[in-house]
Amino acid sequence: MVTKLKEDGLDNVHTEAAQVPHWVRGNESAAMVSPRYHSMSILGLGSSIGTPPEGITADVLVVTSFDDLKAKAEMAKGKIIVYNQKYVSYGTTVRYRTAGASEAAKVGGVASLIRSVTPFSIYSPHTGWQDYDDNVKKIPTACITVEDAEMMQRMQERGVKIRVTLKMQAKNHPPVMSRNTVAEIKGSKYPDQVVLVSGHLDSWDVGQGAMDDGGGAFISWQVLSIIKQLGLKPKRTVRMVLWTAEEEGAYGAQQYYKKHKDNVGNFDLVMESDEGTFMPLGFHFKGNSAAMTIMKKVLEPLQKVRSIPLSPGGGGADIDMWIRAGVPGGSIFTDDNRYFKFHHTNGDTMTVQDPVEMNVCAALWTVVAYTVADLEDMLPRG
């Protein structure tokens, strides 16, 4: 990739080291063995420990929420806890994936199986990172399909005893060195001031990572490519950063921020695309009212082609620390229900991507980045 970026004639092409976690999935399986045999489709969750080689075979307790788990705590000891929580939104419901194992362990659960965090399923488990509570015993954890979670709840409601065998070879290894990838078009007048566009290079080991976040990485690369091909020379530097280890907790972005935070006053705008490159429904922006007024002007030329309203929001795991430090931030608003149907699944492949929609996203990303970089003054903040 670095070689290709250099061949494109971009400036300051390099990588920056970042230490990241090293988790390996290994083989995994789950099967309901009573009241009948049923092989279940699962995906282990990131940082999960594995089971003993013979697996864990235990009765199941199905719960619909953390409150339901607490109410049934006396029944939970020695059980595999199955969460069949209702999907509200990704931001709300993902806490069952991230904290489900620790909450199950607190009441004596021996493993946890979490209903995939998605608004729609065709028997598709969704993986993702999970976090253990340091003060609670670690237990194996995986996501199951919506269909299997609902089936087990129906069985439990009829008084049927459910027994499951879970086998996971997951292992956590010592951290390893990875790298963020950086390229620029150097500013003609204020080269030390930066408009940053970004996506993350890492993806889950299932699917192809085409949507999460190949699309975001691609359109950020396209920003530099389009500006270069058009022979434009913005006043400020337009910098692309392709982050590593976003899925594991934004490790690449955190270490980049630590390295560059002393220069935070020179970062004009930070942008991240990590919510799909489907047809844009708008542009989310975090900044003060004066900056919002300017951004509306920035988007005006695009309105002649397609309505792209500006609305409060923006941000992303890899740029939130810059925004908290006062730097204005932006992101593309797309149909998140469509996005979370494929998110972290074997279905995240190139088939999900539409070239026309990606081109519109690239155009939006480029217009915003170039226009802001070419303004005489930086966006107001504070």
User: Known catalytic residues?
Assistant: 246
The three state secondary structure string of 238-294 is EEEEEECCCCCCCHHHHHHHHHHHHHHHHEEEEEECCCCCCCCCEEEEECCHHHHHH
What's the angle, vertex CA 270, arms to CA 267 and CA 273, rounded to 5?
160
* Contact (Cβ atoms closer than 8 angstroms) between residue 233 and residue 184: no
340-370: buried (b, 16+ CB within 10 Å) or exposed (e) per residue? Answer: bbbbbbbbbbeebbeeebbebbbbbbbbbbb
111 SS3 class: strand
Taking the C-alpha atoms of residue 57 and residue 40, their distance in angstroms, rounded to an integer, is 14
- Owner of token pair 């990875």: 178
Radius of gyration of the chain (CA): 23
CB atoms within 10 A of CB 278: 22
Strands 11-24 and 171-185: antiparallel
